[in-house]
Amino acid sequence: MTDLVPRIALNQGPLIPQLGFGVFLVDPAMTQKTVESALEVGYRHIDTATGYNNEAQVGAAIRASGLKREDIFVTTKLRNDHHKARDIKGAYQRSLDALDIGYLDLYLIHWPMPLVGYYVEAWKLFEGFLAEGTTRAIGVSNFKIPHLQRLMAETSVVPALNQVELHPVWQQKELRAFQDQHGIKAEAWAPLGQGRYPLDSIPAINAAAAAHGKTPAQVMLRWHMQEGIIAIPKANSREHQAANLDIFDFELTPAEMAAIQAADGGHRLAVDPDDVNSD
């Protein structure tokens, strides 16, 4: 199954598996076991964050897996309180120490916090981490077009990707078009909507699921793959982990893709990044 997951080239060089595994809201006490299971099932892309309080457990799972470090793509993120306190270098080193896997593949600014107004200065420090080689790529999360425009106008390195809320009812078409113009990949942190709407409520997804003998969740993830979006679904059970990975034996037709694209509701399910300016 691992060999079936496409790898996408980031503008800073590394290849990222297009389908990964997220650990947002995974209990730290269960994280090592959950990530070990995901790696056994076939995931080779793990997404965590300092704010998830489970970096150490992710690192322990990777070390226990027996897999080569270079075969696993690992992302973590700068926590808002460390960002706000201008503790960027300290936060970065603590993430490296907690994970204890030698280096990062991708380090992200978790939220722009525009009213704090420090993300450009933070990014300049990120550029230093990239230059020193302790991370292979740097990017952002939850950035809107004005945030990206300012960042690119005032710094030297274009973000490798932008991890945002993205799913069939909030497709972020304008943001994705802007990012395509600048070589910034789109990554979905809520590819299945985080349970905020029923997966079987969209007729186009139901119809495609019935046509291909797949679940609505599998159709949604397949839509992300064919749209060129990187996706990091979360699943606690081994059964769901395997099901989310089992999306490479079918292809949505152009008509099915168009029907899902037409289901875009044009509104967020989660918070607007402009409104996140604290821990």
Going from N- to C-terminal start, the domains of the chain cover 2-197
Is domain 2-197 given the CATH code 3.20.20.100 in the classification? yes
Query: Rounded CA gap, 268 and 193, in Å?
Result: 10
- Residue pair 209/184 in contact by the 8 Å Cβ criterion: no
Query: Rounded CA gap, 229 and 223, in Å?
Result: 9
Segments of the chain scoring below 70 in pLDDT: 1-2
Query: Rounded CA gap, 141 and 17, in Å?
Result: 18
- Residue pair 179/186 in contact by the 8 Å Cβ criterion: yes
- Per residue in 140-170, pLDDT (tens digit) is 999 999 999 999 999 999 999 999 999 999 9
Query: Rounded CA gap, 60 and 245, in Å?
Result: 23
Question: What's the confidence (pLDDT) of residue 237?
Answer: 94
Question: What's the confidence (pLDDT) of residue 1?
Answer: 58
Residue the block writes with tokens 């769901």: 240
Rg (the chain; Cα; Å): 18
The catalytically annotated residue of 52, 92, 107, 119 is 52
Residue the block writes with tokens 């897996």: 65
165 Cβ contact partners less than 8 Å away, ≥ 6 residues apart? 142, 172, 188, 189, 190, 268, 269, 270
Question: What's the confidence (pLDDT) of residue 26?
Answer: 93
Q: Is 52 a catalytic residue?
A: yes
Residue the block writes with tokens 């699921």: 209
**CA atoms within 13 A of residue 198's CA, in its CB half-sphere:** 5
Cα distance from N-terminal residue to C-terminal residue, the chain: 38
- Residue pair 117/150 in contact by the 8 Å Cβ criterion: no
Question: What's the confidence (pLDDT) of residue 266?
Answer: 83
Determine which helix (DSSP H) or strand (DSSP E) holds 38, and give its type and residue range.
Answer: helix 28-41
